[in-house]
Amino acid sequence: MACQSNNKQNQMADESEAIEIVGADSTGMMDIFAYEGVVPSESGKGDSIDYMVIITQQIDTVNGVYQLTQTYVTADGKAGQQMKSKGKKLFQRGTPQDKMAKVYKLVPDSGSNQTVNLWVESDTTVVLLDDQMKAPAKPDNHRLKAVKHHHKHHL
């Protein structure tokens, strides 16, 4: 009897491995992480932009997809226009300032939005880089923090 039950266990282990490989795009194999933060706009009028980034990728891969919502916030705190984009999330190693830096490149599917570069500062924070892939002089104002993912943020 013992031999048979061992065989069954072995079979089950084999099957579950096969399922994992076949179902690599199932939700169980996906990593979803989100970052949010408010960044001053470049107008200098005291207004700002609320960034909400949701990244979905298969576990153990470095590339995935993203959804980005940018909400314009006026100087007196009123939420205004929203811009949404989605596309590919690519991983890049190195910036002009730091060869070892880890960077998430958010490349929109539609050509109208520009690529957003996020420098991975720590496990819980990313910093928005400028078009030249350079970190801002005051990273505190351009930092997005990891947030627990809520499904209500789906685009």
pLDDT per residue as tens digits for the range 80-116:
999 999 999 999 999 998 999 999 999 999 876 689 9
In angstroms, the Cα distances linking 121 to 1, 84, 87, 113, 129 are: 56, 24, 22, 24, 11
What pLDDT is attached to residue 16?
A: 42
User: What is the pLDDT averaged over residues 127-141?
Assistant: 90
Whether residue 155 is predicted with pLDDT greater than 60 in this model: the reply is: no
What pLDDT is attached to residue 23?
A: 41
What pLDDT is attached to residue 113?
A: 67
Domains in the chain, start-ordered, CATH in brackets? 32-149 (2.40.128)
What is the C-alpha to C-alpha distance for residues 121 and 38, in angstroms, rounded to an integer? 17
Residue 62: pLDDT band (50, 70, 90) is confident
- The DSSP secondary-structure symbol of 46 reads S
* Contact criterion met (CB below 8 Å) for 57 and 95: no
* Contact criterion met (CB below 8 Å) for 55 and 66: yes
What is the C-alpha to C-alpha distance for residues 75 and 92, in angstroms, rounded to an integer? 34
The dihedral sign for the CA sequence 135, 64, 80, 121: negative
What pLDDT is attached to residue 85?
A: 93
Residue 61: pLDDT band (50, 70, 90) is confident
Residue 39: pLDDT band (50, 70, 90) is very high
